[in-house]
């Protein structure tokens, strides 16, 4: 997002780029000429004037990227990091969990060990053959291999990925699997059920010996209300690049806190999404983890100064203005057909 003051803000949207291009054409008459320092008002204007076009879909995803960029602009204009603008700094560093796709057991152990060597001390394994091979022994073998490679003192999280097309399991599988995960000291069980199975999520949370996490498929704060009021989650995971940006994400996070639900942002996206999550983590007392895709060029390969782990496996939260990161013009050329519009 470019301003007439010469400040450019960057954002990220989780959807097909062609949809974002189309969405921007619809939204441009609403944001062109607006005050770029009023992210929440401008973003709400976009929501209010487009909900009947497909609330929660392409336009909401595009609005997410716009809103993140507006917060980046506000930070650059004021000389402050976004986290401070959100209300204060609870932490200056946060632990990333290395997010990895599941593999067959032998390969799973090797992959986790590889990223442990790189300094990560928390891991999430998800999708792959888990649950999809219809083999509970294989499911357990994958988790066992990951736990052994991660080490018993490090965090291990499991994501079934039941938002996948034609997920084959229901509540009873999720309950049995949660019992198995308990034996491996798994920190949470994510997306254990189909995305619309609200009643089953509520039951699973009541009986599961491990915390239940979810919410990455939901968009806008209104969609989260029944899941929070009915007690479906121990940990809620909105994605800042989907829900409507930082403005919407922080409302969801504070709302979750009122119901005793922990907020940890979902972050399977880009380095800009990580940067937004880091700023959010600085501004919320219980956001002690951020998602970090292991080996993604969209995370590791587009910044002038890539993220680096410290000796304890933590990431420093950037204190530079805005999101605190800078896109590398040359690196981004590998992924964008024409990067010139990004750098006016």
Q: pLDDT of 227-263, one tens digit each?
A: 999 999 999 999 999 999 999 999 999 999 999 999 9
Look at residue 51 in the predicted model and tell me its pLDDT.
Answer: 87
Query: Residue 336 above 90 pLDDT?
Result: no
Q: What is the pLDDT of residues 71-99, one digit of tens each?
A: 999 999 999 999 999 998 999 999 999 99
Look at residue 114 in the predicted model and tell me its pLDDT.
Answer: 98
Query: Residue 54 above 90 pLDDT?
Result: no
Token readout for 195 is: 């995305």
Look at residue 326 in the predicted model and tell me its pLDDT.
Answer: 97
User: What residues are annotated to the active site?
Assistant: 266
Look at residue 55 in the predicted model and tell me its pLDDT.
Answer: 83
pLDDT band at 344 (very low <50, low <70, confident <90, very high): confident
Q: CB–CB of 142/108 below 8 Å?
A: yes
């Amino acid at each position: 997002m470019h301003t007439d003051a010469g400040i450019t803000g960057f954002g990220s949207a989780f959807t097909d780029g062609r949809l974002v291009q189309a969405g921007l054409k619809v939204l441009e008459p609403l944001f062109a000429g607006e005050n770029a320092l009023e992210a929440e008002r401008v973003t709400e204007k976009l929501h209010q004037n487009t909900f009947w076009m497909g609330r929660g879909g392409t336009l909401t995803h595009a609005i997410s990227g716009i809103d993140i960029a507006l917060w980046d602009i506000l930070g650059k204009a004021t000389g402050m990091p976004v986290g401070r603008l959100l209300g204060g700094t609870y932490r200056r560093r946060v632990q990333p969990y290395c997010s990895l796709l599941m593999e067959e057991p032998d390969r799973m152990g090797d992959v986790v060990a590889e990223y442990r060597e790189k300094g990560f001390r928390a891991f999430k394994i998800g999708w792959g053959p888990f649950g999809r091979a219809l083999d509970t022994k294989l499911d357990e073998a994958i988790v066992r291999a990951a736990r052994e490679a991660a080490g018993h003192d490090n965090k291990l999280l499991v994501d079934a990925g039941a938002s996948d097309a034609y997920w084959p399991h229901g509540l009873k599988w999720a309950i049995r699997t949660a019992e198995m995960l308990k034996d491996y000291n798994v920190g949470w069980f994510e997306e254990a059920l189909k995305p619309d199975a609200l009643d089953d999520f509520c039951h699973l949370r009541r009986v599961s010996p491990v915390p239940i996490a979810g919410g990455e498929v939901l968009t806008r704060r209104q969609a989260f209300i029944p899941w929070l009021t009915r007690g479906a989650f121990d940990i809620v995971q909105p994605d800042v690049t989907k829900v409507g940006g930082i403005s919407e994400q922080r409302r969801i996070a504070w709302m979750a806190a009122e119901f005793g639900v922990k907020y940890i942002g979902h972050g399977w996206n880009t380095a800009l999404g990580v940067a937004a999550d880091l700023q959010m983590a600085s501004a919320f007392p219980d956001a002690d983890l951020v998602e970090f895709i292991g080996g993604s060029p969209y995370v590791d390969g587009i910044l002038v100064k890539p993220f680096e782990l410290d000796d304890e496996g933590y990431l420093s939260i950037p204190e530079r203005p805005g999101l605190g990161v800078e896109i590398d013009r040359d690196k981004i050329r590998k992924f964008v057909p024409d990067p010139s519009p990004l750098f006016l």
